[in-house]
Amino acid sequence: MNAIEAKGITFSYNKTEVIHNVSFILKEGEFLGIIGPNGAGKSTILRILCRILIIKTGTITVFNKDINSLAQKELAHLFGFVPQETHFGLDFSVEDIILMGRYPYLRPFQRETKNDCEAVERAIQYANIEEFRRRRINSLSSGERQRVVIARVLAQKPNILLLDEPTSHLDLKHQYDIMRLLKELNSQGMSVIIVNHDLNLASLYCQRLILMHHGKIYAEGTPQSLINEKTIKEVYNTAVKIVTHPDKNLPQIFLK
Amino acid sequence: MNKLLPIIFIFMLAVACSILIGPGQLSNEIFQLRLSRIILGIFAGGVLGFCGAILQGLFNNPLVEPYTLGSASGAALGSSIGILLFGTVSPLFAFLGALGVGLFVFTVARIEGGLIRDRLILSGVVMSFLCSSLVMIIMITGGKELYEILYLLMGYLGIIITSANRILIIGSIIISVILVIYLYRFHRELDIISQGIETATGLGIDIQNFSLILFFTTSLLIGFVVSIVGAIGFVGLVIPHISKLVFGPKHINNLPVSFLLGATFLLFADTLSRTITVYELPVGIVTSLVGVPFFIYLYRK
């Protein structure tokens, strides 16, 4: 059974077609990267999957269940979504933010259980944010805030992680930390879809890539097969030099 | 817990002041009158503070307050029409007016589709203006009825409880208590919504559904309040902010504290409105006059 099967998705924002007839599969336990130029529709795909945007054309099944047949709370058991940026209107503590990740599992007047608190503890350890767990969220840098959001999605314990440009605001060390964390989670069975601008990161960490262009899937395959000078030139209209990473058999892009 | 005790103490003080302070000896009669004011004050102040907190959380907007969705103007319009047609002020007309406008606001907000939450505010503000204009027209052409509508517009806790409206009032209070308890369960959702629609949806909140449930329930509550004591302003706007300043942003605290502080504030304002001048001021005037400088002081801290 595939984790996700998407068929014939078409989506328009205000009469402008943004996604056209997109179909793809996510295998269980796969680490999939969606790449492509600005406006290609990458982030839109993630939002469609967790039903932040609702499609009128096409079907999406998650573990063989149609997403439109599921309540939003049930969907939150399956998908954990990390947006590119989160603005915190109210200045909660980091612990409180992460505890909110347990919301999909709580009934109306129910208190948080021991189980929930343990999930929060493990998430804090995993995301390595023990040092600022009691601080107010708006007192942290944007990189630190991003790690808190990732910790929250870990506490949510979904089957599939959806991350929209998770490393774009992070410094080198934290980029590496996050990607390594995702890789570790993936090796333990978590399916991951990541949208990333950074083609080199995508190449190093994703098992498979989907390259989008003008709302359609231009190509898909392993980084080795997808990232080549011809394809990059056609989609990004930029001439680049592809070099194999000295330690891994993976392509890396250098600007000419 | 340690912050709650002074608040409870201040609340008790407010009740005591409401009982003891005022012209004349404290006879049994006067005690009964003041008791009814106290009950109405706790009810109105509490519900307004509570609904203010709910709506500011729902719309993720610190300037939203109970009347933004049109219920005050609707109640005023309903009452005005009631006076025009039947010559009496009845909570029933005010309530129907508030509810009618609420339904209208909802219908207008639904028209284009899309996220209903964002359209409710615009629709509510527009309807408020419309209703206010209609009320003005009725006031100008009505003449004598002007005075009574003024108290409805500004709020007044000293209404006479007749056998006719006693049942309506008691019924409204009981239903309101039930609705307030019901709304309290949404404290987590309100916490999460402050981080944006995407985060909220991703964590499992159905925003459309949620917006509608909260909109209609608060409209009912505000309708009950406004139909009985008029449109007491400022409480619903400012009390939630004070609550957050003292107790932090989590709605599990913010909601009940807003209720308590709203009740306290209104009781103090009512006591003041009875003592500050020879003629009794509508309490809504006092809440605005006293509330503004107080709020500015707190915000500068």
Tell me what the pLDDT averaged over chain A comes to.
Answer: 93
Q: Is the pLDDT of residue A152 over 80?
A: yes
Give the lowest-confidence range in A218-222, A226-230, B91-95, B126-130: B91-95
> What is the pLDDT averaged over residues A194-206?
94
| Of residues B129, B106, B127, B109, the one with CA closest to residue B119 | B109
**pLDDT given at position B138:** 82
Rounded CA gap, B77 and B74, in Å? 5
CA B226 to CA B176: how far, in whole Å?
A: 12
Tokens of residue A74, six digits: 């049930």
**pLDDT computed for residue B12 by the predictor:** 87
**pTM given for the model:** 0.91
**Confidence class for position A153, pLDDT limits 50, 70, 90:** very high
**Using an 8 Å Cβ cutoff, are A194 and A206 in contact?**
yes
CA distance A8 to chain B (A): 23
Structural tokens at position B250: 């989590």
| pLDDT score at B118 | 78
Query: CA-nearest residue of chain A to B202?
Result: A81
Q: Which residue of B has its CA nearest to A13?
A: B114
Q: Which residues of A touch B196 (CB under 8 A)?
A: 83, 86-87, 89
Q: How far apart are CA A254 and CA B52, in angstroms?
A: 56
pLDDT at A254 over 90: yes
- Spell out, as residue ranges, where chain B has pLDDT lower than 50: none
Contact A92 B191 (CB under 8 A): yes
- Phi/psi for A20 (5° steps) reads -125, 115
B204 and A104 within 8 Å at the Cβ level: the answer is yes
Which residues does chain B have within 8 Å of residue A47's beta carbon, measured at their own beta carbons? Answer: 198
pLDDT of residue B148: 66
Supply the pLDDT for residue B113: 64
**What's the ipTM?**
0.92
The pLDDT value recorded for residue B1 is 58
Contact B40, B166 (CB under 8 A): no
**Cβ contacts (< 8 Å) between B206 and chain A: which residues?**
71-73
Burial B46-65 (b: 16+ CB within 10 A, else e): bbbbbbbbbbbbbbbeeebb
pLDDT in tens, A118-128: 999 999 998 88
Confidence (pLDDT) at B145: 59
Q: For chain A, positions 75-104, list CB contacts with chain B under 8 A.
A: 75-77, 79-81, 83, 86-92, 96, 100-101, 103-104
